[in-house]
Amino acid sequence: MRSVGLVIVSHSEKLAEGVVELTAQMARDVALRTAAGTDDGRIGTSFDKVNDAVTELREAGHDVVILTDLGSATMTVEAVLDFLDDDEREHIVFAEGPLVEGAVAAGVAAQVGGDLASVAQAARARELFA
């Protein structure tokens, strides 16, 4: 079974780094990547940053769960996913859910050896931290 890594997509580099820092406290062995801000360092999202983070995890042999902070980040992720072939898409899931709680829950699920589907489900489960 492949391990699952997470990509945190945010408009803010600081926010994404904070989510990764928090998630790493509960999921020390999980590959975590950020894709945050624009290519020139402003608030926003970048197709290239998302694509690069996903590619890096895939090349390292991980399946990938992607989480986002806001609607336009979602559109960026969807654009990246549209460019993938069907074989690659089988190993990548965009999990719409709460960013912080979803990342921590997904990280814990990945830490204990969850597969792609169970890690994505954990990311979507809003009630875990209610």
Contact, 48 vs 55, CB < 8 A?
Answer: no
Pairing label, strands 92-94, 32-36: unpaired
Catalytic residue among 4, 5, 10, 11: 11
5 burial via Cβ count (<10 Å: 0-12, 13-18, 19+)? buried
Residue partners of 49: CB distance under 8 A and separation at least 6: 35, 36, 37, 39
For residue 61, the 8-state DSSP code is: T
Distance CA 126, CA 42 (A): 30
- The verdict on whether 91 is a catalytic residue reads no
Residues belonging to the active site: 11
